[in-house]
Protein backbone atom coordinates (compact mmCIF):
# COMPACT_ATOMS: atom_id res chain seq x y z
CA UNK A 1 0.00 0.00 0.00
CA UNK A 2 2.82 2.35 0.97
CA UNK A 3 4.05 3.00 -2.57
CA UNK A 4 0.54 3.92 -3.73
CA UNK A 5 0.06 6.72 -1.26
CA UNK A 6 0.58 10.06 -2.94
CA UNK A 7 2.75 12.36 -0.91
CA UNK A 8 0.41 15.29 -1.38
CA UNK A 9 -0.03 17.61 1.54
CA UNK A 10 -3.24 19.13 2.74
CA UNK A 11 -2.59 22.69 1.65
CA UNK A 12 -5.42 24.51 3.36
CA UNK A 13 -6.75 24.63 6.86
CA UNK A 14 -10.14 26.19 6.05
CA UNK A 15 -13.01 24.04 7.28
CA UNK A 16 -15.87 23.85 4.75
CA UNK A 17 -18.11 21.26 6.40
CA UNK A 18 -18.16 20.37 10.05
CA UNK A 19 -20.22 17.52 11.53
CA UNK A 20 -20.59 17.21 15.29
CA UNK A 21 -22.25 14.25 16.96
CA UNK A 22 -24.02 13.38 13.70
CA UNK A 23 -26.50 10.51 14.03
CA UNK A 24 -28.59 8.91 11.32
CA UNK A 25 -31.50 6.54 11.90
CA UNK A 26 -33.53 4.60 9.33
CA UNK A 27 -36.56 3.85 11.49
CA UNK A 28 -34.96 2.03 14.42
CA UNK A 29 -31.71 1.20 12.58
CA UNK A 30 -29.02 3.47 14.04
CA UNK A 31 -26.86 3.74 10.91
CA UNK A 32 -24.48 6.58 11.89
CA UNK A 33 -23.35 7.03 15.48
CA UNK A 34 -21.87 10.20 16.93
CA UNK A 35 -19.73 11.17 13.96
CA UNK A 36 -17.48 14.24 14.20
CA UNK A 37 -15.79 15.24 10.94
CA UNK A 38 -14.15 18.31 9.48
CA UNK A 39 -14.04 18.51 5.68
CA UNK A 40 -11.33 20.92 4.62
CA UNK A 41 -11.51 23.26 1.65
CA UNK A 42 -9.64 22.34 -1.54
CA UNK A 43 -8.94 18.86 -0.29
CA UNK A 44 -10.06 15.42 -1.39
CA UNK A 45 -11.44 13.42 1.53
CA UNK A 46 -12.07 9.69 1.06
CA UNK A 47 -14.63 7.70 3.05
CA UNK A 48 -13.67 4.03 3.26
CA UNK A 49 -14.93 1.03 5.19
CA UNK A 50 -16.69 -2.31 4.79
CA UNK A 51 -20.03 -2.64 3.04
CA UNK A 52 -22.94 -1.34 5.12
CA UNK A 53 -20.75 0.69 7.52
CA UNK A 54 -22.60 3.91 6.63
CA UNK A 55 -20.30 5.71 4.18
CA UNK A 56 -23.05 6.58 1.67
CA UNK A 57 -25.51 7.42 4.42
CA UNK A 58 -23.09 9.89 5.97
CA UNK A 59 -22.14 11.33 2.57
CA UNK A 60 -25.82 11.95 1.79
CA UNK A 61 -26.19 13.87 5.08
CA UNK A 62 -23.76 16.48 3.78
CA UNK A 63 -26.22 17.84 1.20
CA UNK A 64 -29.44 16.62 2.78
CA UNK A 65 -29.97 13.96 0.14
CA UNK A 66 -31.35 11.79 2.97
CA UNK A 67 -34.33 14.19 3.18
CA UNK A 68 -35.81 12.21 0.29
CA UNK A 69 -35.91 8.97 2.35
CA UNK A 70 -39.04 9.05 4.56
CA UNK A 71 -37.72 6.68 7.27
CA UNK A 72 -34.46 8.60 7.63
CA UNK A 73 -33.79 10.94 10.59
CA UNK A 74 -30.63 13.00 11.05
CA UNK A 75 -29.55 14.41 14.45
CA UNK A 76 -26.54 16.39 15.62
CA UNK A 77 -25.02 19.34 13.84
CA UNK A 78 -23.72 19.69 10.28
CA UNK A 79 -22.53 23.10 9.11
CA UNK A 80 -21.30 24.53 5.81
CA UNK A 81 -19.05 27.56 6.35
CA UNK A 82 -20.37 27.65 9.92
CA UNK A 83 -24.08 27.69 8.94
CA UNK A 84 -26.38 24.84 10.00
CA UNK A 85 -27.47 23.06 6.80
CA UNK A 86 -30.45 21.50 8.61
CA UNK A 87 -31.85 24.90 9.64
CA UNK A 88 -35.52 25.18 8.62
CA UNK A 89 -34.69 28.26 6.53
CA UNK A 90 -32.25 26.35 4.31
CA UNK A 91 -33.66 25.41 0.91
CA UNK A 92 -32.28 21.92 0.13
CA UNK A 93 -32.30 22.68 -3.62
CA UNK A 94 -30.06 25.71 -3.08
CA UNK A 95 -27.88 23.69 -0.71
CA UNK A 96 -27.40 20.97 -3.34
CA UNK A 97 -26.23 23.58 -5.85
CA UNK A 98 -23.46 24.46 -3.34
CA UNK A 99 -22.84 20.86 -2.31
CA UNK A 100 -23.17 18.91 -5.55
CA UNK A 101 -23.31 15.17 -5.97
CA UNK A 102 -22.18 12.52 -8.44
CA UNK A 103 -23.61 9.04 -8.04
CA UNK A 104 -22.32 5.52 -8.48
CA UNK A 105 -24.21 4.92 -11.71
CA UNK A 106 -23.94 7.68 -14.32
CA UNK A 107 -27.42 9.23 -14.46
CA UNK A 108 -27.58 11.84 -17.23
CA UNK A 109 -30.98 13.43 -17.75
CA UNK A 110 -32.84 12.23 -20.89
CA UNK A 111 -31.81 15.47 -22.56
CA UNK A 112 -29.04 16.63 -24.86
CA UNK A 113 -25.42 16.84 -23.70
CA UNK A 114 -25.75 20.64 -23.75
CA UNK A 115 -28.98 20.66 -21.74
CA UNK A 116 -27.59 18.31 -19.10
CA UNK A 117 -24.91 20.88 -18.25
CA UNK A 118 -27.10 23.96 -18.84
CA UNK A 119 -29.89 22.70 -16.55
CA UNK A 120 -28.43 23.82 -13.19
CA UNK A 121 -27.29 27.30 -14.31
CA UNK A 122 -30.74 27.79 -15.91
CA UNK A 123 -32.83 26.81 -12.88
CA UNK A 124 -30.61 28.76 -10.49
CA UNK A 125 -30.57 31.82 -12.81
CA UNK A 126 -26.76 31.89 -12.92
CA UNK A 127 -26.46 33.21 -16.48
CA UNK A 128 -28.20 36.12 -18.21
CA UNK A 129 -27.68 35.44 -21.91
CA UNK A 130 -27.43 32.47 -24.23
CA UNK A 131 -23.79 33.39 -24.91
CA UNK A 132 -23.02 33.25 -21.17
CA UNK A 133 -24.75 29.89 -20.87
CA UNK A 134 -22.77 28.57 -23.88
CA UNK A 135 -19.58 29.67 -22.12
CA UNK A 136 -20.52 27.89 -18.87
CA UNK A 137 -21.41 24.70 -20.76
CA UNK A 138 -18.12 24.75 -22.67
CA UNK A 139 -16.01 25.53 -19.63
CA UNK A 140 -17.63 22.76 -17.52
CA UNK A 141 -17.26 20.21 -20.31
CA UNK A 142 -13.61 21.24 -20.64
CA UNK A 143 -13.06 20.93 -16.86
CA UNK A 144 -14.67 17.50 -17.01
CA UNK A 145 -12.22 16.55 -19.80
CA UNK A 146 -15.12 15.83 -22.16
CA UNK A 147 -15.25 18.85 -24.47
CA UNK A 148 -13.09 17.46 -27.27
CA UNK A 149 -15.15 14.29 -27.41
CA UNK A 150 -18.56 16.00 -27.55
CA UNK A 151 -18.10 19.48 -29.01
CA UNK A 152 -19.48 18.39 -32.40
CA UNK A 153 -22.57 16.69 -30.96
CA UNK A 154 -23.70 18.92 -28.11
CA UNK A 155 -27.33 18.45 -29.10
CA UNK A 156 -27.23 14.63 -29.14
CA UNK A 157 -28.69 12.79 -26.14
CA UNK A 158 -26.40 12.48 -23.10
CA UNK A 159 -27.59 8.91 -22.69
CA UNK A 160 -25.94 8.02 -26.03
CA UNK A 161 -22.44 8.48 -24.59
CA UNK A 162 -20.26 5.66 -23.23
CA UNK A 163 -20.42 4.94 -19.48
CA UNK A 164 -17.19 6.81 -18.77
CA UNK A 165 -18.30 9.76 -20.89
CA UNK A 166 -21.70 9.79 -19.15
CA UNK A 167 -19.98 9.94 -15.76
CA UNK A 168 -17.81 12.85 -16.92
CA UNK A 169 -21.01 14.51 -18.23
CA UNK A 170 -22.55 14.07 -14.74
CA UNK A 171 -19.44 15.68 -13.25
CA UNK A 172 -19.75 18.58 -15.75
CA UNK A 173 -23.43 18.93 -14.74
CA UNK A 174 -22.52 18.92 -11.03
CA UNK A 175 -19.83 21.59 -11.40
CA UNK A 176 -22.01 23.84 -13.58
CA UNK A 177 -23.60 25.43 -10.51
CA UNK A 178 -20.11 26.33 -9.17
CA UNK A 179 -20.38 24.12 -6.10
CA UNK A 180 -18.16 24.62 -3.07
CA UNK A 181 -18.12 20.92 -2.28
CA UNK A 182 -18.58 17.93 -4.60
CA UNK A 183 -19.77 14.64 -3.10
CA UNK A 184 -18.97 11.52 -5.12
CA UNK A 185 -20.50 8.19 -4.18
CA UNK A 186 -18.32 5.46 -5.72
CA UNK A 187 -18.09 7.47 -8.97
CA UNK A 188 -15.87 4.93 -10.75
CA UNK A 189 -17.54 1.67 -9.78
CA UNK A 190 -19.32 1.34 -13.15
CA UNK A 191 -16.28 2.42 -15.18
CA UNK A 192 -13.44 0.57 -16.89
CA UNK A 193 -9.80 1.25 -15.83
CA UNK A 194 -9.21 3.89 -18.52
CA UNK A 195 -12.35 5.86 -17.67
CA UNK A 196 -11.52 5.43 -13.95
CA UNK A 197 -8.06 6.93 -14.50
CA UNK A 198 -9.64 9.89 -16.36
CA UNK A 199 -12.10 10.54 -13.53
CA UNK A 200 -9.34 10.24 -10.90
CA UNK A 201 -7.21 12.74 -12.80
CA UNK A 202 -10.19 15.04 -12.96
CA UNK A 203 -10.78 14.76 -9.19
CA UNK A 204 -7.22 15.88 -8.61
CA UNK A 205 -7.75 18.92 -10.86
CA UNK A 206 -11.09 19.82 -9.27
CA UNK A 207 -9.59 20.09 -5.80
CA UNK A 208 -7.80 23.27 -6.84
CA UNK A 209 -11.29 24.83 -6.93
CA UNK A 210 -13.30 23.14 -4.19
CA UNK A 211 -13.52 20.25 -1.73
CA UNK A 212 -14.25 16.77 -2.98
CA UNK A 213 -15.58 13.98 -0.76
CA UNK A 214 -15.43 10.53 -2.31
CA UNK A 215 -16.85 7.22 -1.10
CA UNK A 216 -14.81 4.37 -2.47
CA UNK A 217 -14.44 0.62 -2.03
CA UNK A 218 -11.00 0.79 -3.56
CA UNK A 219 -8.25 1.51 -1.08
CA UNK A 220 -5.89 2.03 -4.00
CA UNK A 221 -8.22 4.73 -5.28
CA UNK A 222 -8.45 6.39 -1.85
CA UNK A 223 -4.65 6.36 -1.66
CA UNK A 224 -4.29 7.76 -5.18
CA UNK A 225 -6.82 10.60 -5.04
CA UNK A 226 -7.28 11.74 -1.46
CA UNK A 227 -5.30 13.79 1.03
CA UNK A 228 -7.47 12.82 4.01
CA UNK A 229 -9.21 9.53 4.72
CA UNK A 230 -12.00 8.60 7.10
CA UNK A 231 -12.46 4.94 8.03
CA UNK A 232 -16.01 3.93 9.02
CA UNK A 233 -16.99 0.69 10.73
CA UNK A 234 -20.49 -0.34 11.90
CA UNK A 235 -21.74 3.26 11.77
CA UNK A 236 -18.79 4.67 13.74
CA UNK A 237 -16.04 6.89 12.43
CA UNK A 238 -13.10 4.86 13.69
CA UNK A 239 -10.21 6.93 12.40
CA UNK A 240 -9.76 10.10 10.36
CA UNK A 241 -6.48 11.61 9.31
CA UNK A 242 -4.02 12.30 6.53
CA UNK A 243 -4.27 9.56 3.91
CA UNK A 244 -0.57 8.67 4.19
CA UNK A 245 -0.89 8.11 7.94
CA UNK A 246 -4.12 6.06 7.65
CA UNK A 247 -2.59 3.69 5.10
CA UNK A 248 0.91 3.40 6.48
CA UNK A 249 0.52 3.91 10.21
CA UNK A 250 -3.12 3.42 11.30
CA UNK A 251 -3.72 4.01 15.00
CA UNK A 252 -6.79 1.81 15.45
CA UNK A 253 -6.52 -1.98 15.08
CA UNK A 254 -9.85 -2.01 13.14
CA UNK A 255 -8.37 0.35 10.52
CA UNK A 256 -5.31 -1.82 10.26
CA UNK A 257 -7.41 -4.97 9.86
CA UNK A 258 -9.41 -3.32 7.07
CA UNK A 259 -6.50 -1.95 5.11
CA UNK A 260 -4.63 -5.22 5.36
CA UNK A 261 -7.72 -7.07 4.13
CA UNK A 262 -8.68 -8.84 7.36
CA UNK A 263 -12.14 -7.20 7.63
CA UNK A 264 -14.52 -6.08 4.95
Ligand X SMILES: Nc1ncnc2c1ncn2[C@@H]1O[C@H](COP(=O)(O)OP(=O)(O)OP(=O)(O)O)[C@@H](O)[C@H]1O
Q: Which of 22, 31, 78, 223 binds ligand X (CB under 6 A)?
A: 31
CA distance 226 to 5: 9
CA distance 75 to 73: 7
CA distance 258 to 48: 9
Burial code of 21-52, b = ≥16 C-beta within 10 A, e = fewer? ebbbbeeeeebbbebebebbbbbbbbbbbbee
Q: Does 254 bind ligand X (CB under 6 A)?
A: no
Query: Cα 76 to chain center, whole Å?
Result: 21
Q: Does 56 bind ligand X (CB under 6 A)?
A: yes
Q: Which of 11, 14, 20, 52 binds ligand X (CB under 6 A)?
A: 52
CA distance 138 to 151: 8
Q: Which of 19, 43, 54, 196 binds ligand X (CB under 6 A)?
A: 54
Q: Does 25 bind ligand X (CB under 6 A)?
A: no
Stretch binding ligand X (CB under 6 A), from 45-53, 73-81, 134-142, 165-173: 45-53
x/- string (CB under 6 A) for ligand X, residues 57-86? x-----------x-x---------------
CB of 119 to ligand X, least distance (A): 25
Binding residues vs ligand X (CB under 6 A)? 26, 29, 31, 49, 51-57, 69, 71
Amino acid sequence: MKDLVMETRVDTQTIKIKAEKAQVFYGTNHAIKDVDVEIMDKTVTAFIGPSGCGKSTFLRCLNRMNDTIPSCRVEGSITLDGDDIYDARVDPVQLRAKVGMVFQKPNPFPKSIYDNVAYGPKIHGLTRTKAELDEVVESCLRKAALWNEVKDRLHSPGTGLSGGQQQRLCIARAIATSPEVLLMDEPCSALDPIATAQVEELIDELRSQFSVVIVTHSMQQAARVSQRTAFFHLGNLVEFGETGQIFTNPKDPRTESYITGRIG
